[in-house]
Amino acid sequence: MRPCPDRFPFPLVALDETDSTNQYISRLCNESQEAIAEFTTVVAEFQTAGKGQRGNTWEAEEGKNLLFSFVLYPTFLEARRQFILSQIVSLAIKEELSRWSDEITIKWPNDIYWKDRKICGILIENDLAGHNIARTISGIGININQELFRSDAPNPVSLKQITGKEHDRHTILAHILRRVEIYYNSLRMEDPDAYSSEIAARYARSLYRRRGLHPYEDANGKFLARLLRVEQDGRLILEDESGQERQYLFKEVQYVI
């Protein structure tokens, strides 16, 4: 992608290949004598062991997509509020991709969808120190110019497939980080509770399947439900067909798509 470190707004490590940009930046942080600056970003053309959620692998053809990770030290945030980091990263990406389509949404907790297809996955890894967050590594894979996907990713889509044209990955990357920075600085400066309600409201408005009855599946099987809200700690609250409220933590429920 030929990123240009001079014009890039944050410290940047641009690699042809690595195992996983999350792993790379984590090693960089652990092995460095001094703290790596916030928003230091590692971007790779190819990952040999791209990590997804739930131990999945992340598929990305070499040289076509955005595969990057950046580090933050949100020590001002209590660990119980860590979901807000997921929200601001998701919102930044959703807002940037919405420049090309008004059908971009956030699928709880933090996948980015175009219609019923996944354009971006986010893997956030937090290190806690007591009740607070010491370090956050946000790893992001966005399908940009890839045109064909292997069959085991059920519903991938790329920006090129949506718009019919190639996109400049470097510009999108810089825009996303700028958007995260704006949210992050506000989070740091303002009364955390007041601000988080604004973020939460934006996040709620951005959600995939936010209206109507849709199929879900939990440990007891499939059911139809409507989305009521997402709690501050990230729990998804659904109301099933019989009017019963159901609460889920990450990984306890799946969308049937």
Ligand X SMILES: O=C(O)CCCC[C@@H]1SC[C@@H]2NC(=O)N[C@@H]21
**Residue 234 in tokens:** 């990230």
* Residue 59 Cβ vs ligand ATP, minimum distance, rounded to whole Å: 4
Q: Under DSSP, is residue 133 helix (H, G, I), strand (E, B) or coil? A: strand
Sign of CA dihedral 163, 112, 253, 49: positive
Neighbours of 170 (CB within 10 A): 18
- Interface with ligand X (CB under 6 A), residue from 72, 122, 177, 230: 122
Structure-token pair, residue 54 = 């739930």
Residue 90 engages ligand X in binding (rule: CB under 6 A): no
Q: For ligand ATP, which is the closer residue by CB, 41 or 143?
A: 143
How many whole angstroms separate alpha carbon 138 and alpha carbon 13? Answer: 15
SS3 18: strand
Interacting positions 135-164 with ligand ATP (CB under 6 A): 141, 143, 153-154, 156
| Residue 24 makes contact with ligand ATP by CB under 6 A | no
Strands across the sheet containing 117-129: 12-18, 41-47, 66-72, 132-142, 117-129, 111-114, 104-107
For residues 19 and 239, which CB has a smaller minimum distance to ligand X in the complex?
19
| Interaction mask 30-69, ligand ATP, x per CB under 6 A | ----------------------xxx-x-xxx---------
Residue 155 touches ligand X, criterion: CB under 6 A: no
Judged by CB under 6 A, the stretch of 65-73, 188-196, 202-210, 241-249 that binds ligand X is 65-73
Nearest residue (CB) to ligand ATP, 56 versus 247: 56
